[in-house]
Chains A and B, each alone.
With several copies, the nearest count.
Chain A
């Protein structure tokens, strides 16, 4: 059954960007605004760019508000606030004609752009100095002005500010309030028609959170029953580890900062061997240090979850910028034949559910599971529906070999390891060669369950055995898991968007889902219908689903944020199909406009058989 949901049209779609340099506090300013919006019935989506340096460099937050689910940061903004010249130069192109430009006239020279926009100079620095004696609070001046323009509930804002700045001390807080006030009043003579006033909107139902993708991973891990993490800080993954460190003790879990990534993955392997559900978050450079231990985990079949919040590379690269360029590493990056699973969430909410799924798969099949986020998902905040905890269930112990279902807000099942039965313990074979490749795993402390987990090739009992036949047999056993999972996928309904007779198909993965959806929506408005498939499981790929999707396609577009077309290469390796690459490798998320352009170009091709001509 193909799903072809009608795209719901939105009455409201408003985008604000606040830009300045690192240290200006634009992110705080924007996040407070977003928080206020999130308390209304609006959906909120934020995107953050910030420099890798401690000081200076371009920094911005973009906030999108809609009355329906939001899938991307959007392309053109309705309101732009710039703190300095660089911010103006970098952002002015994305301001819609007729949009509002708020800027500090003391530092921004708007040049010849004056006619296309509504210009609203606000002397941020001067006003901050006047109100507080220093320029530090200029972001609060801006926030005050925006609060006025969007009709914020000032009482709520004060509460939010107090929560946020509680640790800064009385004096700083007082200054913030003074600056806020100054901005609020200064904006009184600006004429901006937003169609909405935040304070007048219905408050949200109680079941929404405003969280980042990284926070979603941390919360997903906790919901999945993870009670142990060991990590080493690395941008842009650090907030996952920081959030877990803060929250795990509250649920009886433990978090340890290790001396490096090798120690981190070693510690979670030890903890998983000891019986816990474990996770370590990292990014490309750190992930690479974990390679040897990842192969060990494949060999000794210990369940672990690794999160890679991708940043632009190679090497140190662009630590705070987004890219989808660790896919080939995730799928192939190990010596020897090392089976593992790779998942890629498509957005903030999905990060929560895919994290739960990562644990379920790791525990059910005893393989390392890699969760590939990227900076743009990790740092983006979005309103996420609170899952229904009454519908959360443990997979029945009597059915431990049940396949793992895909969790959703209305039904989450939590999977635990298959443990040996009393009979099995009588002559325990840790690496029993079973139909699905997975064998019962004894928890230390269990009498009779003692076994050896060795990185050397071993027999079903775990005893080292390097004979030719045993190596073949056990290699097959380990890979049978992936075959089994692939077969399980065949039972799932085919899920793609768009009509099955559309001849243009798009495949993407991870964070580009929203941009592709929006591009398709606009293409449809221009009369071009397309299909769209966005697998959450990167490896093993859901083969049957993709094969069916590929049927009768004339043009296949593969959308990804990297230079060489890693996903396209992989799809070709699996299905032999050629594709047109829709790629971006600039450290920034691809926009729906950029995708739309290629769709329209492809739709205009006359020679329909030649799909590689772009």
Chain B
């Protein structure tokens, strides 16, 4: 099936992001990736968190779940584990994904479900109007750091590398084309993929846009994406700020492991791979 980006758009709902918000570009790139991959909208589940970025699920003509703050990833993981036949994505902001929801990432990475997580970093809490997020620079005077915060901002990509996430990339709202190809690769990747996207806020510019744009540079061609130690250096680099795929590896995915468990369980029980009925199960308890 060949589709157009139009198919994925929910006609009835107009995005209410501020004019100029970086999230528009991400929405557009995502729709283009779907088109490229000829996905059927009814076979996509999108789970989003809470924040400006959490509004994503409202704008797509897919099966969409706009849950609570910080829980997009475990929710998406459950959806994928239950329905391996669907394409499942999670989307959220830096507050949603790195602060309140940060504890879920390392465990999702260890389970490695075949989901794609778009983490939209604007270095601020946008929706709640300008409080510090885990990536807000230490000297920025946000509403909750009127005298400067002084905390060290987090470096998400190195962290994802040590979590063992099986696909890690960075994109930028300035470059929809590159973002589209990265998101496409991420969805194609079998396993948990994180696309970490700089998607600046026009209201609270905790990081200077212009500086961000200037510093951005693509990872060199032929970058060794399978070597986590080599990935760490560009992952830490601020100038240049690299975009592209930092790390990728092949690793058994959750759904397949669950299938294998089913096989093992049945073999242990019968010596063969046949399912049992509830009745048969209960007879074991006699």
Write the residues of chain A forming the contact surface with B, with a CB cutoff of 8 angstroms: 53-57, 206, 208-211, 215, 219, 222-223, 227-228, 230-235, 238, 241-242, 245-247, 249-252, 254-264, 266-276, 278, 285, 292-293, 296, 300, 315-316, 386-387, 389, 442, 444-456, 461, 463-464
Q: A285-B69, A447-B40, A453-B65 are in contact. Are A222 and B278 (CB under 8 A)?
A: yes
Residues on B with beta carbons closer than 8 Å to the beta carbon of A227 = 82
Give Cα distance in the complex from A255 to B203, angstroms. Answer: 25
**Chain A residues with Cβ under 8 A from B52's Cβ?**
54
- CB distance B82 to A233 under 8 Å? no
Stretch at the interface among B70-78, B210-218, B239-247: B70-78
Tell me whether A249 and B265 are in contact (CB under 8 A).
yes
Beyond A256-B111, A447-B40, list 17 extra A-B contacts (CB 8 Å): A54-B18, A209-B282, A210-B285, A211-B285, A230-B81, A249-B262, A249-B266, A250-B265, A254-B81, A260-B103, A274-B83, A278-B82, A387-B282, A452-B66, A454-B64, A461-B12, A463-B13
Q: Which of B45, B78, B269 has its CB near the most chain A CB atoms (within 10 A)?
A: B78
Taking a contact as CB atoms under 8 Å apart, the answer to whether A455 and B67 are in contact is yes
A274 vs B46: C-alpha distance when bound (angstroms)? 11
Residue of A nearest to B142 (CB): A257
B229 at the interface (CB under 8 A from A): no
Q: How far, in angstroms, from A54 to B130 measured CA to CA in the complex?
A: 12
Q: Which residues of B contact A257 (CB under 8 A)?
A: 131-132, 144-145, 149
B21 partner residues in chain A, CB cutoff 8 A? 54
Interface membership of B236, Cβ < 8 A: no
- Are A445's CB and B144's CB within 8 A? no
- CB of B286 within 8 A of CB of A316, answer no
Closest to A23 in B: B18
B261-286 interface mask toward A, CB cutoff 8 Å, 1 = contact, 0 = none? 11011100100000111110111011
Q: Which residues of B have CB within 8 Å of A446?
A: 42
- Once the chains bind, are B281 and A267 in contact (CB under 8 Å)? no
- Neighbour of B63 across the interface among A250, A262, A450, CB < 8 A: A450
Does B93 make an interface contact (CB < 8 A)? no
Report the Cα distance A84→B141, complex, angstroms. Answer: 34
Which residues of B sit under 8 angstroms from A260, Cβ to Cβ? Answer: 70, 99-100, 103
The reply to whether A241 and B16 contact each other, CB–CB distance below 8 Å, is: no
- Nearest A residue to B12 by beta-carbon distance? A463
| Docked complex Cα distance between A249 and B86 (Å) | 20
* Closest chain B CB from A584 CB (angstroms): 26
Contact of A276 among B50, B82, B126, B132 (CB under 8 A): B82
| A249 in contact with B261 given A258-B107, A292-B68 (CB within 8 Å) | yes
Would you call A54 and B83 a contact (CB within 8 A)? Answer: no
Given A208-B286, A463-B13, A259 contacting B102 (CB threshold 8 A): yes
Partner of A259, one of B63, B104, B278, B285: B104
Q: Which residues of B contact A266 (CB under 8 A)?
A: 67, 71, 74-75, 78, 104
Q: Are A270 and B64 in contact (CB under 8 A)?
A: no
- Judging by beta carbons under 8 Å apart, are B67 and A444 in contact? no
**Complex: how many Å from CA A611 to CA B77?**
53
Interface centre among B13, B82, B278, B286 (most CB of A within 10 A): B82
> Could you say which of B30-38, B54-62, B156-164, B219-227 contacts chain A?
B54-62
Which of B85, B100, B129, B146 has a CB less than 8 Å from the CB of A246? B146
Most chain A beta carbons < 10 A, residue from B66, B127, B266: B66
Interface contact A274-B45, CB-CB below 8 Å: yes
Chain B interface residue count, CB cutoff 8 Å, equals 81
Which of chain B's residues have a CB closer than 8 A to the CB of A208? 286
Are the C-beta atoms of A450 and B131 separated by less than 8 Å? no
A409 CB to nearest B CB, Å: 12
Q: Which residue of B lies closest to A222 (CB)?
A: B278
Task: For B45, give the chain A residue with the smallest CB separation.
Answer: A444
CA distance A270 to B261 in the complex (A): 21
**A521 vs B78: C-alpha distance in the bound complex, in angstroms?**
49
A57 with B82: CB separation less than 8 A: no
Q: Can you list 8 A-B contacts (CB < 8 A)? A: A54-B126, A233-B131, A250-B262, A267-B78, A269-B67, A271-B83, A450-B64, A451-B63
In the complex, residue of chain B having the shortest beta-carbon distance to the beta carbon of A239: B143
Q: Bound state CA distance, A555 and B132, in angstroms?
A: 52
A54 lies within 8 A of B85 (CB): no
Chain B residue with minimal CB distance to A22? B16
B57 contacts A54, C-beta separation under 8 Å: no
Known pairs A260-B100, A444-B45, A450-B42; A228 contacts B145 (CB<8 A): no
Chain B residue at minimum C-beta to C-beta distance from A252? B275
Is A53 within 8 A of B16, CB to CB?
Answer: yes
Please, how many angstroms separate the alpha-carbon atoms of A238 and B143 in the complex? 9
B130 to chain A, nearest CB (A): 9
Residues of B within 8 Å of A448, CB to CB, are 42
Residue of A nearest to B69 (CB): A285
Question: Are B40 and A296 within 8 A (Cβ)?
Answer: no
Tell me which of A222, A252, A267, A455 contacts B68 (CB under 8 A): A455
B42 touches A447 (CB 8 A): yes
**A235 CA to B143 CA in the complex, in Å?**
13
With A263-B107, A389-B278 known as contacts, the answer to whether A250 contacts B82 (CB < 8 A) is no
Chain A positions within 8 Å of B40 at CB level? 447
Query: A270: nearest residue on chain B (CB-CB)?
Result: B78
B65 and A300 within 8 A (CB): yes
Q: Does B138 contact A (CB under 8 A)?
A: no
For the complex, give the distance between the alpha carbons of A53 and B17 in Å. Answer: 8
CB-based closest 7 A-B pairs: A267-B78, A270-B78, A271-B82, A270-B79, A249-B265, A454-B66, A260-B100
B17: chain A residues at CB < 8 Å are 54-55
B94 CB to closest chain A CB (Å) equals 12
CA distance A17 to B128 in the complex (A): 25
The answer to whether B125 has its CB under 8 Å from any CB of chain A is yes
